[in-house]
Chain A
């Protein structure tokens, strides 16, 4: 999904005509949030469209967003992670491999289902990159 400046203007106009305060759009490679400013009654984009980074599977295996001994996710959406930090695990038989963040960022979304068998290169976690 890509959004151009005219798209954002059109979305802003629609939003202004509704009684909604905020509009958030999320898709592969894009995240847009529009918020209605109470004072002026007009809409300003507060987030530029950004490219999300897909963390892909390093191997064939079973996707585990939580360690099997834990009931909390390694990196739920909103977690700030460093490059190289595990954001999920991949189980291959008796082995557990880390799925690591290639760049520093904020976890935007966990894309794969817990317990699903995934293939090499399957997008597992969407990461909103941040400057180091």
Chain B
């Protein structure tokens, strides 16, 4: 069991998401940085999609009530197990009674905003519609369908001893993407793209976008050049997915994120490719980035690159655990 010690808002149990339920009006939820969640699980020998805790407000403290192998990925939070500092993107082993503390994210070579605490066997919460992710809007999934609170006790899957004490290369460094010194995110132009003025379309790619404070797991409101359609666009509500970039009347876009509702009526200028959603999921409020135009083939290649990186980590971590166990 792990006990939540801090009175921290907005930490939730997440996995890789509840896919396949959009037709029932159930959004996907899931980790804002699925690569970090998967990497933490693979370090521990868990399935990549085991449930973990997503932390986005710091400091965050938990106590292990029994021995537990764990991994921390995502934002570098200068974590400590009791008094001992832990490296970022690293696995460790806690004894019963030890406290894990995550401080404010620090960003020397990569600025990120969400950390993931993975545990051996995963966080043991019920599977609902094929996922353990917290669905906040519907108040189901995860731990009692809500964000974690001080005093919550979470069961972990298994207490079996694991080889720990090694880590993963952060994908932000292994799979970097930037333009003009700013992080970059690849976008497919979507249904209403061609209905925006040529100047708006050019500015969409050329100008940096800033993540405003009105940004959370539901969506990111961006600030940048005003996007103007050639003529007013009125649409009926239609299905949308995380990554869709909508443009409300003010001309400042909203990116739908993991907790997005499954339908909307604003015009869509683009869709962030699935392989790059983690980059935006980690981008801190106030930071700036560029959109890069891509196409279907490149989007699939980017997804394959992410999967190849995870497969490489899985294979090498497995070999390392095997070799260490044999020693």
| Whole-angstrom CA separation of A98 from B165 in the bound complex | 7
Interface: A68 (CB within 8 A) = yes
Number of contacting residues on B, CB 8 A?
24
Number of contacting residues on A, CB 8 A?
15
Contact B169 A94 (CB under 8 A): yes
| From B88, B309, B312, B313, contact of A67 by CB (8 A) | B88
Given A91-B169, A94-B169, A98-B165, residue A69 in contact with residue B76 (CB < 8 A):
yes
Contact B89 A92 (CB under 8 A): no
A residues within 8 A CB of B166? 95-98
| Whole-angstrom CA separation of A86 from B85 in the bound complex | 11
Contact B76 A94 (CB under 8 A): no
Q: How far is the CB of A101 from chain B (nearest CB, A)?
A: 13
Interface: A70 (CB within 8 A) = yes
The residue in chain A whose Cβ has the minimal distance to the Cβ of B175 is A94
Contact B320 A69 (CB under 8 A): no
Q: How far is the CB of A56 from chain B (nearest CB, A)?
A: 15
Interface: A93 (CB within 8 A) = yes
Contact A95 B109 (CB under 8 A): no
| Whole-angstrom CA separation of A67 from B108 in the bound complex | 11
The residue in chain A whose Cβ has the minimal distance to the Cβ of B84 is A85
Among residues 39 to 85 in chain B, which have CB atoms less than 8 Å away from a CB atom of chain A? 39, 76
The residue in chain B whose Cβ has the minimal distance to the Cβ of A92 is B316
Give a binary string over A39-74; 1 marks a CB under 8 Å from any B CB, 0 the rest. 000000000000000000000000000011111000
Contact B169 A86 (CB under 8 A): no
| Whole-angstrom CA separation of A96 from B167 in the bound complex | 5
Contact B88 A95 (CB under 8 A): no
Among residues 70 to 106 in chain A, which have CB atoms less than 8 Å away from a CB atom of chain B? 70-71, 86, 89, 91-98
Q: List 9 A-B contacts (CB under 8 A).
A: A67-B88, A68-B169, A69-B89, A71-B109, A93-B312, A93-B313, A94-B169, A95-B169, A97-B166
- B residues adjacent to A (C-beta < 8 A): 39, 76, 87-90, 108-110, 165-170, 173-174, 309-310, 312-313, 316-317, 320
